[in-house]
Structure 1
Amino acid sequence: MLKQNLQLKLSQKLSPQQIQLMKLIQLPTQAFEQRLKEEMVENPALETGTDEPEYEKDEFDTTDEFDDYDDYDNDRIEADEINIDEYLSDDETPDYKLQANNYSDDDEDRSMPFAAPVSFHQSLIDQLNTFILNDDEREIAEFLVGSIDDMGYIRRSIPDIVDDLAFTQGVYTDEKMVEHIMHIIHQLEPSGVGASDLQECLLLQLKHKTPTAPIELAISILETQFDAFTKKHYDKLLQKYDISQDQLRAAIDEIERLNPKPGGSYDSTSSKAVEHVVPDFAIKIVDGELELSLNGRNAPELHVSKDYQEMLQSYKDSRDKSSQQKDAVQFIKQKLDSAKWFIDAIRQRQETLFVTMNAIMHYQEEFFLDGDEGKLRPMILKDIADMVGLDISTVSRVANSKYVETPYGTKLIKEFFSEAMKNDQGEDVSTIEIKKILETVISEEDKRKPLPDDKLADILKERGYPIARRTIAKYREQLDIPVARMRKKI
């Protein structure tokens, strides 16, 4: 039996343009510049510079226009229906001459020089040239160097290496030969490279040093009492070797000077790209007042190509309009619409970034004026979202990946957000302030008898911060501070 009924359903659907705008807001300065370059390549109707008038729009909000663009790719509009005058400008005065740029002048060189050093693995290959090796030995040695990870370790067993040499390189050898070549690898710099684990790595570095009493004791500890050393069972070590605390301390100092990641220490030839932090905002103190500016790279001067407008003008003036011209007008309209939307999106991005950071700056005004982290107020995303009238997700996009340059250093914006906790007087205090106090207490403790979490909780309670032991443990882990036993020093 067929039945017919009417059902109402309310759903929220984001247009592709709105999704792209959210992605633009989330991008930090360097990523935004790359996105801008990609758009310039993809859309020839979009140009940068100040030689031509920009596409004019009075409002930053492009919400009303999103509906106009939602389906233009799907619904073909005939060329005769296009109002050419909407895409032409008769303003002889360039728009840039009538505008004031409220963003900071970014005079720094935008081009970043890149060094081309020898890679870590290539350096090891070069060092092999100082050894006399036959063809098979060199092939095995180069294979072993290729098996070294970025930390400087070969984390594979010798039998596995023998099998791989046979199956992948066609080199048939035995474990004895691989062990012989492995000893050659262990002689390369940096010292400790090619080790199979941390214990072997530290031992290789110690054995490269001139033998002394502390070094010989350190080698013995690592060879026979490595587990007790890693767990800092110093009393057991004192009893085992029948030595004084000064002697043990000297041996431990030798071990602590070693590098557990020999590959990572090869900075000058590291193949990893160096990340440069470019502040998205700058806060200055001028006459006792805070002044916020947006990095000039976030405010590019864009305009619609004059050539494309002239093409439309030519089409408008022509009497006989061929099918090829009509197809060209369809293409031009699509590119002009895309360029105009992108310019509007950039302007809305600038506005969103500026108003959000401005709200954060005024909310944390006391901190930005004197740099005392103890004056950071508890602040969550909703606090800022309510101030600027934006969605919490939009504020999160601004805060998560953006940096601000302050008189006290460049800070990640999300670091200013924290939850609130009550002190013994019932006042809201930031968890950042509590973590700072916890870090200070731990730094001042007697390292021979480090304070366990319950003792730390008692100390903070005495200072007016009633916090549970499990909360202390959570904050300590967030600060990357180990448990009391691992902080112990002799």
Structure 2
Amino acid sequence: MALSQSLQQKLLQKLSPQQIQLMKLLQVPTANLEERIKEELEENPALELSEENHDENFEEPRDEFENADDDYETEGSEDEYENIDISEYVQEGDDEIADYKLRDDNYPELEDKQVMPFKIENSLHDSLVDQLGMLDLDDRTQKIAEQIVGSIDDDGYLRRETTSIMDDLAFRQNIIATEEEIEGLIRKIQHFDPPGICARDLQECLLLQLERKLKEGTEVKLAIEVLSRYFDEFTKKHYDKIQRGLNIDDDQLKSVINQIIKLNPKPGGNVGEVNKAESYVVPDFFIYNNGGKLELTLNSKNAPDLRISEGYRDMLKEYDKGSKKDKRQKEAVLFIKQKIDAAKWFIDAIKQRQQTLMMTMQTIMDYQKEFFLTGDETTLRPMILKDIAERTGLDISTVSRVANSKFVQTEFGTYRLKFFFSESLSTESGEEVSTREVKKILSDMVEGENKRKPLSDERLTELLQEKGYNIARRTVAKYREQLNIPVARLRKEL
């Protein structure tokens, strides 16, 4: 086939840098917004904090050009320089460009109470290393112990084989250690806090915790025997086999179960930075019930106000007044123009972010008004991303970016925005209800069941159908799993 050239015209959609910047800012949670703004302040000298005592005669940016070489090159071209309209950048009192506020003027007294919390703690690894310092170890043994501690995961388990630790020591630190030496150090580390640390599996973890409670009586000894001899039966709740094997009655089995359920299956999960389950959630929105009228505010705490640098605008004013237009001045003007444009784009992106967030949350609040007034999950209406996109005029992907990473604080608790989105389910009367409502009823049924005879999926299906919900057993099983509710056999209690 012969090579040939041809001209073609195509219609393509391409995102502008400003649109890309806005999409990234939409995904940034309020907790990280201040950090993102600080990054932009460091990168762009034309962007600065807006302060009441701001010096209008700020001249510092001039220093960047005073010692510039004649060979300084700028990204702008001569044509770009000729097309610059200086008046766009030096207008007096240009509030739209110069001033920008993130604060909520309507409720200043409420905003003072909205503190941005942060957590400072030592990690699990640091805690274990500190405890190593209490042992009388030589340098070689200390390095072996540190290797073991470094192999413990965030849950507090040592999931690496002893032979793998031996290989790491040999190849990375040139230390030849025996299996018995490593096992001896592991046993010492297992006496560290928190109890159960450095276990190889769940069974060993629970036994380590029980061994520290041996002084509490025979119930602990019996619990150790149950976990040692009948661990599989215990996890599967085959209590009759345990009773027959140990010849114990129901009261004794209850006391054993009470001892075991108090233990921590993830001892490392409550220490330091790895405790993700208890990490702080910073809400992006606040909803207040003012006498039956819902009021929405955006969390702007700790986010600095921004403005265009007056120093940079003064430089353009001086250039506009001057008569001499040499190469260095042209290059400086192009540089200033680029920085001011970038600052404008960023401020505009922050404004659009606020508007988009408020518009989306306002629509969600109006859609789920009954829930925000009562806090009753059964009042949640079926709602999907498309519903909000149609009401706001935004794209579904934009609504998704807002919903996936944002939280709202209400008088009933703090919720992720994704919580309010759910599919619909038809009732016998033909009414569409939220699947969230069905899950709440299902959860209440399980909570109120007789734990000696838990409700099976078939029975739960029948009860829901009696309430008028057209639902299949497999759907009930799916919802139960989504709620992290185990099957009936594993919910059984004595």
TM above 0.5, yes or no, is yes
- Verify the 8 A CA contact 1:102 1:293 in the aligned structure 2: no
After superposition, the C-alpha distances for 1:46-71 in whole angstroms (9 at most, x for unaligned) are 12315579xxxxxxxxxxxxxxxxxx
The residue number in structure 1 matching 2:67 is none
The residue number in structure 2 matching 1:213 is 218
SS in 1 for 2:296: strand
The residue number in structure 2 matching 1:13 is 14
The residue number in structure 1 matching 2:83 is 81
Q: Distance in 1 between matches of 2:136 and 2:105?
A: 67
Output the amino acid matched with 1:367. F
Assess, with a 3 A threshold, how the Cα gap between structure 1 residues 225 and 124 changes in structure 2: closer, same or farther: same
Matched, 1:414 2:414: no
Assess, with a 3 A threshold, how the Cα gap between structure 1 residues 419 and 303 changes in structure 2: closer, same or farther: same
After superposition, the C-alpha distances for 1:196-236 in whole angstroms (9 at most, x for unaligned) are 11111111222222253322222222222211111111121
Displacement, 1:448? 2.1
Q: Distance in 2 between matches of 1:334 and 1:124?
A: 52
The residue number in structure 2 matching 1:475 is 479
Output the amino acid matched with 1:237. I
Relative to the length of structure 2, the TM-score reads 0.86
Q: Distance in 1 between matches of 2:27 and 2:202?
A: 40
Assess, with a 3 A threshold, how the Cα gap between structure 1 residues 12 and 479 changes in structure 2: closer, same or farther: same
After superposition, the C-alpha distances for 1:219-259 in whole angstroms (9 at most, x for unaligned) are 22222221111111112112222221221121122111111
Displacement, 1:290? 1.5
SS in 2 for 1:264: helix
Q: Distance in 2 between matches of 1:302 and 1:42?
A: 14
Q: Distance in 2 between matches of 1:414 and 1:271?
A: 25
User: Following superposition of structure 1 onto structure 2, how do residues 174-323 of structure 1 map, counting pairs within 5 Å?
Assistant: 174-210=178-214, 212-266=217-271, 269-270=272-273, 275-297=279-301, 301-323=305-327
- Verify the 8 A CA contact 2:31 2:116 in the aligned structure 1: no
After superposition, the C-alpha distances for 1:281-312 in whole angstroms (9 at most, x for unaligned) are 22222232222222234985432211111111
- Verify the 8 A CA contact 2:101 2:305 in the aligned structure 1: no
Displacement, 1:85? 1.0
The residue number in structure 2 matching 1:172 is 176
Displacement, 1:34? 1.8
- Verify the 8 A CA contact 1:280 1:402 in the aligned structure 2: yes
Q: Distance in 2 between matches of 1:213 and 1:97?
A: 69
Q: Distance in 2 between matches of 1:2 and 1:261?
A: 67
Q: Distance in 2 between matches of 1:93 and 1:122?
A: 51
Q: Distance in 1 between matches of 2:80 and 2:402?
A: 41
Matched, 1:401 2:405: yes
- Verify the 8 A CA contact 2:405 2:416 in the aligned structure 1: yes
The residue number in structure 2 matching 1:452 is 456
Displacement, 1:75? 6.4
Q: Distance in 1 between matches of 2:104 and 2:156?
A: 51
- Verify the 8 A CA contact 1:103 1:296 in the aligned structure 2: no
The residue number in structure 2 matching 1:91 is 93
Assess, with a 3 A threshold, how the Cα gap between structure 1 residues 40 and 97 changes in structure 2: closer, same or farther: closer
Output the amino acid matched with 2:224. I
Assess, with a 3 A threshold, how the Cα gap between structure 1 residues 36 and 488 changes in structure 2: closer, same or farther: same
User: Following superposition of structure 1 onto structure 2, how do residues 319-334 of structure 1 map, counting pairs within 5 Å?
Assistant: 319-334=323-338
- Structure 1 unaligned blocks of 5 or more: 54-71
Displacement, 1:441? 0.5
The residue number in structure 2 matching 1:384 is 388
Q: Distance in 2 between matches of 1:462 and 1:157?
A: 54
Q: Distance in 1 between matches of 2:184 and 2:344?
A: 68
Q: Give aligned-pair identity as a percent.
A: 52
Q: Distance in 2 between matches of 1:110 and 1:404?
A: 15
SS in 2 for 1:40: helix
Assess, with a 3 A threshold, how the Cα gap between structure 1 residues 121 and 283 changes in structure 2: closer, same or farther: closer
SS in 1 for 2:269: coil
SS in 2 for 1:415: helix
- Verify the 8 A CA contact 2:268 2:274 in the aligned structure 1: no
- Verify the 8 A CA contact 1:162 1:175 in the aligned structure 2: yes
Assess, with a 3 A threshold, how the Cα gap between structure 1 residues 443 and 98 changes in structure 2: closer, same or farther: closer
Matched, 1:160 2:161: no
Q: Distance in 1 between matches of 2:480 and 2:103?
A: 49
- Verify the 8 A CA contact 1:50 1:96 in the aligned structure 2: no
Relative to the length of structure 1, the TM-score reads 0.87
Assess, with a 3 A threshold, how the Cα gap between structure 1 residues 290 and 76 changes in structure 2: closer, same or farther: farther
The residue number in structure 2 matching 1:23 is 24
Q: Distance in 2 between matches of 1:92 and 1:291?
A: 31
Matched, 1:360 2:361: no
- Structure 2 unaligned blocks of 5 or more: 56-73
SS in 1 for 2:373: helix
SS in 2 for 1:206: helix
Alignment coverage as a number of residue pairs: 470
Assess, with a 3 A threshold, how the Cα gap between structure 1 residues 110 and 43 changes in structure 2: closer, same or farther: farther
Displacement, 1:102? 6.0
The residue number in structure 2 matching 1:67 is none
- Verify the 8 A CA contact 1:103 1:294 in the aligned structure 2: no
Q: Distance in 2 between matches of 1:449 and 1:145?
A: 45
- Verify the 8 A CA contact 1:103 1:295 in the aligned structure 2: no
User: Following superposition of structure 1 onto structure 2, how do residues 417-436 of structure 1 map, counting pairs within 5 Å?
Assistant: 417-436=421-440
Q: Distance in 1 between matches of 2:374 and 2:9?
A: 57
> Which deviates further from its counterpart, 427-436 or 161-170?
161-170
Displacement, 1:464? 1.1
Displacement, 1:271? 5.8
Assess, with a 3 A threshold, how the Cα gap between structure 1 residues 444 and 74 changes in structure 2: closer, same or farther: farther
